[in-house]
Amino acid sequence: MLLHIIAAAITPPFDVEIASRAYLDTLKGAARAKSDAYFEGGYWLTLWGAGVTMLSYWVMLRTGWSAKWRELAERITRWRFVQALLYALPFGIVGALLTLPWMIYEDYVREQQYGLMNQSPGKWAVEQSIVLGVNTLIFALVVAVVFALIRWSPRRWWLWSAGAVTLLLAVFVMVTPVFISPLLNTYKPMAAGPMRDQILAMAHANHIPTDNVYVFDASKQSKRVSANVSGLGPTIRISLNDNLLNRASPAGVKAVMGHEMGHYVLNHVPWMIAQFAVLLLAVMFALWWSVPRLIARCGGQWGVSGAADLAAVPAYMLIVTLIFLVATPVTNTLIRRHEAQADAFGLDAARAPDGFAESAMQLSEYRKLEPGPIEEALFYDHPSGSERVHRAMAWKAAHLAQLPVDQRGVVRPFPAPSDRASSMPSNASVPPAAASSDQR
């Protein structure tokens, strides 16, 4: 008790608001305007991207292409499960071609305009081809399973499909760290040293079953910092990208890794799968109700005979895209709450509040720092930078006497976000979009 009294007596006054503002004010002027413009543009990109995707599905139906792909699959094989797999191949390729101009603008041109893209057009195209291949295979499996269930149980397929797709999602989460992520990046064990020791010490203190930390080469693609604790069961691994190691202070790295460990300890992956299952159940029921009515009205023009016809896949996907667009505030809120919980856990685990505030300011290079409350509720799937900085400084104020003396005052961020942001091209355009392993 005496030691606590002495510590409190020698601890200098600490104002949470002043400390928070000291961090927030490191991003200002042109750099802040550019960050705001980039993120606010994402609000419109979400809408226009969904519109472009739905238009591509309508084109597949209206031109009769979807019916022709189904006919081709039926000529190749009589096995319906294999027919679904074969149908998904032209569906995926043509869908990618129809939306290619939009994807080039959104994922490459715009990222380059804002100084966030490190790839050449050729390397970007190669990676997008890999992603297309993986997505087509996964989509083919989902289509084959769902349409098998539609034929097996026309009245209750929506119920069984929700369960089946949720199970496939869990398997996908499990295999991604081992089989999919290495297709795009090289993962290497982190070199031995104090930083690796501190990360593993936090992991073991929180009962995370791993004895290794992996570093992946995200700098070849982007300047974004990110890390994750990914996988399920035997595939769990801790990973961080080279941008985080190269651009953050040791305290910043610890803070980010504490946050990511929070997702594991708080069982956020199983919770998100469970919450997605509930949403998916509602989506499947909506499809069961709406698609037959849509086909009854337009199926003759499209060459689609019924809800169990593979040619109806674009109709299903059109409605799915619309539902998820409308549900965006709901899904954002679910994710944002988990992120806030991981923030609180990470502050306790890493005990590096200034490192946490530093990482929040790094993310402010491409996330609007101080949104309004309605804006944050609708469009943010992570807490805003201002909220995170304030949380870190409030934690610091509450634990001030427990921190080393040289960390009790207002600490200037390292490195200053405004310095990093100034390295972005000064001639980058500012059109009327948002930023995710987890990019915090």
> For residue 20, what are the contacts with CB-CB under 8 A and spacing of at least 6?
357, 386, 389, 390, 393
Domain encompassing residue 68: 25-180+266-421
User: Chunked in runs of 10, what are the mean pLDDT values of the chain (440 residues)?
Assistant: 47 84 94 96 96 98 98 96 96 97 97 95 97 96 97 96 96 89 95 94 92 94 91 82 94 96 94 95 97 96 96 98 96 96 97 95 94 94 97 94 74 47 32 39
Decide if 440 contacts 48 (C-beta within 8 A). no
432 belongs to a structural domain = no
216 belongs to a structural domain = no
Tokens matching residue 327: 């549900």
Residue 230, burial from CB neighbour count under 10 angstroms (0-12, 13-18, 19+): buried
Q: Using CA atoms, how far apart are residues 3 and 9, in angstroms rounded to an integer?
A: 10
Tokens matching residue 27: 């991003």
Q: How far is CA 1 from the centre of its chain?
A: 46
195 belongs to a structural domain = no
* Structure-derived torsion over alpha carbons of residues 16, 22, 28, 33, reported in degrees to the nearest 10: -20
Is the Cα torsion angle 134, 140, 143, 146 positive or negative in sign?
negative
pTM for the full predicted model? 0.88
437 belongs to a structural domain = no
Tokens matching residue 437: 């392993």
89 belongs to a structural domain = yes
Q: Using CA atoms, how far apart are residues 403 and 21, in angstroms rounded to an integer?
A: 21
Beta bridge partners of 241: 216
Decide if 410 contacts 392 (C-beta within 8 A). no
196 belongs to a structural domain = no
CB contact burial 337-376 (16+ within 10 A = b; e otherwise): ebbebbbebbbebbbbbbbbbbbbbbbbbbbbbbbeeeeb
- Residue carrying the six token digits 């499209």: 302
Return the CA Rg of the chain.
24
Decide if 215 contacts 240 (C-beta within 8 A). yes
How many domains does one find in the chain?
1
228 belongs to a structural domain = no
245 belongs to a structural domain = no
Is the Cα torsion angle 29, 35, 38, 43 positive or negative in sign?
negative
For 170, other C-beta atoms within 10 Å of its C-beta total 18
Q: What is the DSSP string of 17-64?
A: HHHHHHHHTTS-HHHHHHHHHHHHHHHHHHHHHHHHHHHHHHHHHHTT
Tokens matching residue 4: 């606590």
Query: What are the angstrom distances between the C-alpha of 131 and each of 33, 96, 205, 324?
Result: 32, 11, 36, 21
